[in-house]
Structure 1
Amino acid sequence: MIRPLLSILVLLVATPALAQSKPPLVLAAASLQESMTAAADAWAKQGHPKPVISFAASSALARQVEAGGDADLFVSADQEWMDALAARRLIVANTRVTFLGNRLVVVAAKGNPVRIPVRPPAALARVLAAGPLAMADAPVPAGRYAEAALRTLGVWAAVAPKVVRGDSVRAALTLVERGAAPLGIVYATDARASRMVRIAGVFPAASHPPITYPVARLASSRNPEGEAFRRFLISARGKAVFARYGFTAR
């Protein structure tokens, strides 16, 4: 009778601890929708609570944190918005890790045969300025990368009047998918995630700042599952999930 009684006592002690385990809340850049969801599924299969993920532009998510929004992890599509939170001591500094990379591309609808000449500038400007060009808003990382690339290539002045903005990189992608713009500037992984567009051109990596994704635990987080999931994301197994969706490991 002693062993069964001990087993019951162990269960009674363990059950409250299990009940307290709750899923981490992750604020993730919009371009990570499919890949981060897959990473959360992989984490859950290991017996952990499945992370709850809120996707939006990195700028919107960072402002949410600045306003006191409750979450455990922040994954940005650039360093600047992570820097903004670090400056206000809203992240745990030693948990910040850059773990993914991406490429910047021009997309067109699947049936549009256009090809994007990166040089000479006159040819590039002529194609991009022919109709509306979808891009993310300027505060959004994808929008900043796109503008930087167009400035470096010497065509921003010609193209800027034809730009139509979306509040995230996925919103810019949607404008092309729906035919509201013949061309759009998005990440390579966004193009890969859509069955309705194709890559019409790739920007030289040197034409814009490196596209990198840092992750960090938020200073307000008290959920140990958040830190555990962060460690999974930056592990070889976690990075392998993102590689399947076209991201590069850092």
Structure 2
Amino acid sequence: MKTSKWITGLTIVLCYIFLAQGGRTEPLRIFAAASLQGPLDVISEDWDIDTIINYAGSGTLARQIDYGASADLVILANAYWMDWLIERGQFAGTATDIISNQLVVIGPHGTAPMSNPTKTDLLDRLSGGRLAMGQRASVPAGIYAQAWLENIGAWGTIQNHLAETDNVRAALVLVARGEVPLGIVYSSDAASEEAVSILWRVPSDQHSLIRYPAIALTPTGEDFLAYIETRTDVLISSGFKALQ
């Protein structure tokens, strides 16, 4: 009899936990831009439901979703790929911008800083090497980087000296390992890696606004998105910028 009561009590507790989580037993599935890795991990660890986060370049994530991958929440690093998915009928509704960022030029740790670099300055620093950045056709950080290089009149020359990567974190790794002398990444990426130094902070008016749009596809995704919006302090302390 005591065993029966114990089992009954345990069943009640488990049912309570199940209902408290909205009846969900599967982990929350999040597709997130690679640059969010780190602070988003911290935020998800404090959430009361297990999460599985797929980090990749925004273009890669968008294509995965277009091919049929399912998610509860999608956070990309620019509006282009989010609009692309909406136009293709993958999402209904409006995306919400949650945070911003800043482009920076980086070099291996200890590299001397730059001041308002020109095409000549960049070529001198490259000294025959390559500049690491995300693929300009699909990675938002690469798209922003190209816009900045065009703005300062350097693109025509620098485009022949690139090491393009599948996501911005891969560009960071190339610089951290000393495989290339320069890279263009986000401020948040540089802040996460001790093996690089920030050489120049790109003025935000020299390219389009960096913003991270998010869209929730399930009620649980909506709950987690609302929670992220209460924890932007974690993102800002990791080098992200508040929305203006």
Q: Same fold (TM over 0.5)?
A: yes
1:85-234 matched pairs, under 5 angstroms: 85-94=85-94, 96-113=95-112, 115-128=113-126, 130-138=128-136, 139-218=138-217, 221=218, 224-234=219-229
TM superposition shift of 1:193: 0.3
Q: Is the 8 A contact 2:102 2:241 kept in 1?
A: no
For residues 172 and 12 of structure 2, what CA distance do their matches in structure 1 show?
53
* Deviation >6 Å, runs of 4+: none
**Letter matched to residue 42 of structure 1:** D
Pairing of 1:237-248 with structure 2 (within 5 A): 237-248=230-241
Report Cα offsets for 1:148-188 as digits up to 9, x if no partner: 10001101112111111111100111111111101100000
The answer to whether the Cα contact below 8 Å between 2:135 and 2:142 also exists between their aligned partners in 1 is yes
Superposition deviation, residue 129 in structure 1 = 6.3
- Could you tell which deviates more after superposition, 84-93 or 149-158? 84-93
In the alignment, structure 1 residue 71 sits paired with structure 2 residue 71: yes
Equivalent residue in structure 1 for 2:25, among 13, 21, 27:
21
2:211 is matched by which residue type in structure 1? T
- Equivalenced residues, count: 233
Query: What is the CA-CA distance between 1:127 and the residue it aligns to?
Result: 3.3
Displacement of 1:85 = 1.0
Separation in structure 2 between the aligned mates of residue 119 and residue 180 of structure 1, nearest angstrom: 21
Matched, 1:39 2:34: no
Shift of 1:130: 4.5
- Superposed CA deviations along residues 122-162 of structure 1, whole A, max 9, x for unmatched, are 43454356521111111110110001100011011121111
Which ranges in structure 1 are unaligned for 5 or more consecutive residues? none
What is the rounded CA distance, in whole Å, between the counterparts of 1:153 and 1:108 in structure 2?
Answer: 19
User: Structure 1 89/108 Cα, relative in aligned 2: closer, same or farther at 3 Å?
Assistant: same
How has the CA–CA distance of structure 1 residues 12 and 103 changed in structure 2, closer, same or farther, with 3 Å as cutoff? closer
**Residue 86 of structure 1: SS of its match in structure 2?**
helix
Q: Are residues 15 and 190 of structure 1, via their aligned partners in 2, closer, same or farther at CA, if it must alter by over 3 Å?
A: closer
Contact 1:117 1:123 survives alignment (8 Å): no
Partner-residue secondary structure (3-state), 1:70: coil
Counterpart Cα distance in 2 of 1:72 and 1:123: 45
Task: Tell me, in whole angstroms, the C-alpha distance in 1 between the residues paired with 2:188 and 2:54.
Answer: 18
Q: 1:185 to 1:120 in 2, by over 3 A?
A: closer
| Cα RMSD after superposing both structures | 2.2
In the superposition, relative to structure 1, how do residues 233 and 92 fare at CA in structure 2: closer, same or farther (>3 Å)?
A: farther
**Percent identity for Structure 1 against Structure 2:** 35
For structure 2, the residue ranges without an aligned partner over 5 or more in a row are none
- C-alpha contact 1:117 1:124 (8 A) present in aligned 2: no
Shift of 1:212: 0.5
Task: Give the TM-score taking structure 1 as reference length.
Answer: 0.85
Superimposed CA distance per residue, residues 15-49 of structure 1 (whole angstroms, 9 cap, x where no aligned partner):
66466433210000000000110110122xxxx11
